[in-house]
Amino acid sequence: MDTGDSWYITSSAISVNNNPFSRQISLEKQSARVIIVTEGVQKYGLYASRPATGSFSGRIVSDTAARFASLGGIRLIIDNLNDAAQQIITTTNEQGEISVEGIIPGDSYEIAIGDQRAVVLPHVEHDDVGIITVTNGRNFKTTLRPQNPAQDMTRLYANRAYSNANTYSFFLDIENTGTETWTAATYLLSFSYDLNFTGSRTGILGTTPPGYKYSLPITLSCDPVTAPFVMQTAAIRITDPSVPGKIWDDTVSVKFNRAPVNFNIKSSRPVQGVIITPAARAYRFITEPSGDVFSATLAMPWTTEDYLVVFSGAEMGTEAAYSLGINADPPSDYRFFTDTWRYEPNDTEAQAWKLEMHTALMQGWIMAYLHVNDFDYYRINIGPYVEYVD
C-alpha cells in the first residue's frame, strides 16, 4: 500500500500487518495488481507485491518409470508453507514432469506424494525447481537461498563486459527428505559454462539422518549476457558407497538480469509511490531530503516490457511538483513550473500515460504535479538496451 502497510486479503477476512482488520472500507479491484481502498473521503492504493500468478516446473523421479505410465501421472498435493490457506492439487505427466500455476514466487512449497514430502523454493516467475526424488529409502532435495535475507532474487545482475562487480553469496541447502540415514554420502557440483562459482565443488556430507539439512556456502556470478535475462543452472550429484551404483541428481536455477536501470525521482515536497515490474512485483519509493529538494532512486532490471510507475498519497500539505528520469538526473528547479494539469487525468491503471523512454537511458525526463488524494499512473517502456558506464 502507498502507506507502507502490508495487506493480506481472502474471501472472508482482511489482515493488515498480520493483525485482524475491522474498519469500514470499500475495495475496488482495478486490475490483477491494483486495488483501490476507500475509507471515508480518503483513498489508498493497494499494490500486489507478490501476486499468485507465478508458476514453477520440475521433474519427479519415482521408484519405477512404470509408475507414471500406468497411472498416467501421479497426484501431487502442494501446500504453501507461508500460507496455510493455499493448496494446489495437480498431477505429473507420464514422464514425471510437473508444471504448477498460481503460486507466489518467494514462498516455500511442500510437495506431498503419499507420505513422502519435499520442500521447494521458487524465487522467480517460471522457475525450475529441479528434481524431486520420491523413491523409497534415501532421498534429498536441494534449494538455493541468499546468505543475506534482504537480497531480492529477482534483481540479480550479470557482469558487464568491462566489470566483474556483480557477485552474490548463497547457501546451497541439501536436505535428506527420505526415510533412511545417509551413511557416507558425497556430493559433486557442476554449473552452466558461463556461471562463475566460488566454493567447494566436491565434499563429504557424512552421516545425515532424515530431515537434516546441510548448508553449503557458495558465491555465484554470471558472464555478460545479450538477452534481457538468463536462467542459469547449478547441478548436484550425490553418491553413497553403502548403496553401490546408485546416484541421486538435482538442479537449482537462478535468474540473472542483463543490467539495471535507475528510476531517479525528485520532488518539491515529499512524494511516494510504487514501481511495478512486468511480473507485477511492486517496489515502494519515498522521496527524502536531498539538498533543497527531495529525491529517491530505485535500480530495476532492464526490460523491453512496460513498467508501471504510480505516484500517490498527496495530502493538503504534500501536493508537489515532481520529475522522473530513467538513468538520467531529472530537474529539481520547480520555480517556473506552472503546468499542474500536465499528463492528467491518469488516475487509474487503464488511463496510465504511455511514455517511450528510448532515448532516456542517458538523458530525458518528465515533470508533472501530484494533486491532493490523486494517483498518477505511467506506463514506461525503457526501450532498446544501451550499454553505459555508471
Domain limits of the chain? 7-47, 54-257, 260-381
Domain 54-257 - what CATH class? mainly beta
Q: Give the span between the Cα atoms of 20 and 1, in whole angstroms.
A: 16
Give per-residue pLDDT as tens, 4-34: 788 887 777 888 988 999 888 999 988 878 8
Contacts of 390 (CB under 8 A, 6+ apart): none
In single-letter form, the type of residue at position 358 comes to: H
In single-letter form, the type of residue at position 119 comes to: V
pLDDT below 50 — which residues of the chain? 360-361, 389-390
Residue 72 has a pLDDT of 65
Residue 237 has a pLDDT of 95
Residue 78 has a pLDDT of 94
Phi, psi of 269 (to 5 degrees): -135, 170
Residue 387 has a pLDDT of 64
Residue 340 has a pLDDT of 93
Q: What is the DSSP string of 248-291?
A: EEEEEEEEEES-EEEEEEEESS--EEEEE-TT--EEEEE-EEET
Query: DSSP label at 300?
Result: E
Residue 363 has a pLDDT of 57
Q: Give the span between the Cα atoms of 123 and 131, in whole angstroms.
A: 16
Residue 83 has a pLDDT of 82
pTM of the model: 0.87
- What phi-psi label fits residue 72: left (phi over 0), alpha (psi between -120 and 50 degrees) or beta? left
Residue 361 has a pLDDT of 47
Q: What is the DSSP string of 52-115?
A: S-EEEEEEEE-S-HHHHHHHTS-EEEEEETT-TT-EEEEE--TTSEEEEEEE-TTS-EEEEETT
